Amino acid sequence: MTDVLTDAVLTNEEKLAHLDAEQLRQLIGLVEYDASHDPFPVIGWDAVVWVVGNATQTALHYRTAYGMRLVAYAGPETGQRDHKAYVLTSGGCRFVIMGGVAPDSPLLDHHRRHGDGVSDISLEVPDVDVCVAHAVKVGARVLVEPHDLSDEHGTIRTATMAAYGDTVHTLVDRSRYTGPYLPGYVAQDDTLVADRPPVFWALDHVVGNVELGRMDEWVDFYHRVMGFTNMAEFIGDDIATDYSALMSKVVASGNHRVKFPLNEPAIAKKKSQIDEFLEFYVGPGAQHLALATDDIVAAVDTLRAAGVEFLATPDSYYTDPELRRRIGEVRVPIETLQERGILVDRDEDGYLLQIFTRPIGDRPTVFFELIERHGSLGFGKGNFKALFQAIEREQERRGNL
Ligand SMILES: [Fe+2]
């Protein structure tokens, strides 16, 4: 790691979004990284691929509420009989929203089992074959061997590896490709959100929930297979309330673009929120995605105006003298945060502002976090208790506590 961060580290999507390296350092804690001796170099996220019950309406929601831009599409009109897929971007972040069209589509089976959720946390890598060769050597399960996909825009090299539950990591080398997403997708010109500034600029982290006793196994997987390193560790009392508890560890890629906190339930008096997730997602899966913004106040206002609901934070959170002392000075008055329920956490490197949405689908499973970093590279450890108490209130309303 050095102090010099040049624009050479930027992905194509980040360049297209007019982001520079310094902005990414602030937004997501991007660091310079020498990958020359890395057996599994990772550039960053390629896409978050969702399987949902109604891709057409979900994609529209992300455009109208979250201000994401539709950039590519595949479906019956483009020769894809089985499903529809909408490719959306916000800043340097890409979502692909998929839904089954043909009644026998495997996507409908995925949705019947898991509900709306993340099926593929796809990663951009410089050399798919190098990564897969290393992954196989250390015992990872490869679901789709490396192969080329080509069209008039060039060639993509790709392969797919198994991760927790039914979640997979597709590896993508797009260095020889200029199309809008993958071969078979047709570029779209989105006039709906054309002039709106993005609500978020990048994906900060994706949290995985795994079964009791399996967290260390998955931490080891990301160490061994992808060469990720530990970023932080939260165990026991840090994130326990009287009723529910969890354990969490964070692994990250060398450049810190890709960060995976991994949670498992811990034993407490009542059912952990992780258990609720595992029950309703029917196994391990992606619990929340943190979207990086440089103005969380504006982002919350935009999303609330569009009907997005956030977890409530009790007024006691803001009036607690201990918390006030710990937070210190932040860029906006505490009252501004309190009105919106935005949480604050501070560590030796700086502070962060964060807020969590309610589950985005019908099941109490996946949700979003908005995060605005000011030097802190943490994940809101100091807020876990306040957050969990808020989640427990909602669990209780659903009859699942
Ligand atoms: Fe988070």
User: What pLDDT sits at residue 193?
Assistant: 81
Spacing, Cα 118 to ligand 1 middle (Å): 16
**From CA 30, how far away is CA 119, in angstroms rounded?**
25
- Total domains in the chain come to 2
Position 234 scores a pLDDT of 62
Q: 316 vs 4, 179, 319, CA distance in Å?
A: 42, 51, 5
Q: Quick one: pLDDT at residue 2?
A: 47
In 315-401, alpha helices (H)? 315-319, 321-327, 334-340, 384-397
Tell how strand 343-347 and strand 350-356 pair up: antiparallel
Please state whether beta strands 259-266 and 202-209 pair in parallel, antiparallel, or not at all (unpaired): parallel
What was the pLDDT predicted at 244?
67
Single out the residue in 140, 161, 187 at which a domain terminates: 187
Q: Which residues pair with 367 in a beta bridge?
A: 288
| Alpha carbon of 190 to ligand 1 centroid (Å) | 30
For ligand 1, the distance from its centroid to the CA atom of residue 175, given in whole angstroms, is 30
Please give the helix or strand (H or E) that residue 62 lies within, else none: helix 55-64
What spacing in Å lies between the alpha carbon of 376 and ligand 1's midpoint? 13
Asked whether residue 197 is assigned to any structural domain, the reply reads: no
* Any domain includes 192: no
Residues lying with their CB under 5 A of ligand 1, a single-atom ion:
290, 369
CA 177 to ligand 1 center in whole angstroms: 32
pLDDT of residue 4: 66
Partnered with residue 203 across adjacent β-strands are 291
Compute, in angstroms, the gap from residue 187 CA to the centroid of ligand 1.
32
Does residue 150 contact residue 171 with C-beta atoms inside 8 Å? no
- Gap from CA of 188 to ligand 1 centroid (Å): 31
Helix (H) or strand (E) holding 128: helix 128-137
386 belongs to a structural domain: yes
Indicate if 252 and 374 belong to the same structural domain: yes
The domain of 81 spans: 7-187
How far is Cα 386 from Cα 312, in angstroms, rounded to an integer? 10
In a domain, 326, yes or no: yes
Q: Are 176 and 209 part of one and the same domain?
A: no
Is the same domain home to 175 and 248? no
Q: Are 169 and 206 in contact (CB under 8 A)?
A: no
Question: 226 by DSSP, 3-state: which?
Answer: helix
Distance 356 CA to ligand 1 centre (A): 8
Residue 389: predicted pLDDT: 74
Per-residue tokens: 85: 């897929």
**Ligand 1: centre distance to CA 43 (Å):** 21
- Ligand 1 centroid to residue 277 C-alpha, Å: 15
Tell whether 27 and 137 lie within a shared domain: yes
- Indicate whether 305 and 208 sit together in one domain: yes
Q: Is residue 194 part of a domain?
A: no
User: Ligand 1 mean position to 358 CA, how many Å?
Assistant: 13
Residue 215 near residue 249 (C-beta atoms within 8 A)? yes
* Shared domain check, 285 and 176: no
What CATH number should be reported for the domain holding residue 337?
3.10.180.10
Q: In the prediction, which pLDDT does 391 show?
A: 73
The last residue of one of the domains, among 155, 187, 219, is: 187
Q: Which of 172, 62, 68 is nearest to 120 (CA)?
A: 172
| Cα 359 to ligand 1 centroid, rounded to whole Å | 14
Cα 238 to ligand 1 centroid, rounded to whole Å: 15
Per residue of the chain (401 residues), give pLDDT as tens: 445 688 888 999 999 999 999 999 999 999 989 988 899 999 999 999 999 999 999 999 999 999 999 999 999 999 999 999 999 999 999 999 999 999 999 999 999 999 999 999 999 999 999 999 999 999 999 999 999 999 999 999 999 999 999 999 999 999 999 999 999 999 999 988 877 889 999 999 999 999 999 999 999 999 999 999 998 766 655 566 666 677 889 999 999 999 999 999 887 777 788 999 999 999 999 999 999 999 999 999 999 999 999 998 888 788 777 777 777 889 999 999 999 999 999 888 999 999 999 999 999 999 999 999 999 999 988 787 766 777 777 788 888 87
**Interval between CA 205 and ligand 1 midpoint (Å):** 7
Same domain, 180 and 273: no
Same domain? For 148 and 227 the reply is: no
One domain for residues 364 and 267: yes
Give 252 Cα–ligand 1 centroid separation in angstroms.
Answer: 13
Which of 187, 220, 246 is the last residue before a domain boundary?
187
Task: Give residue 354 CA to ligand 1 midpoint distance, Å.
Answer: 8
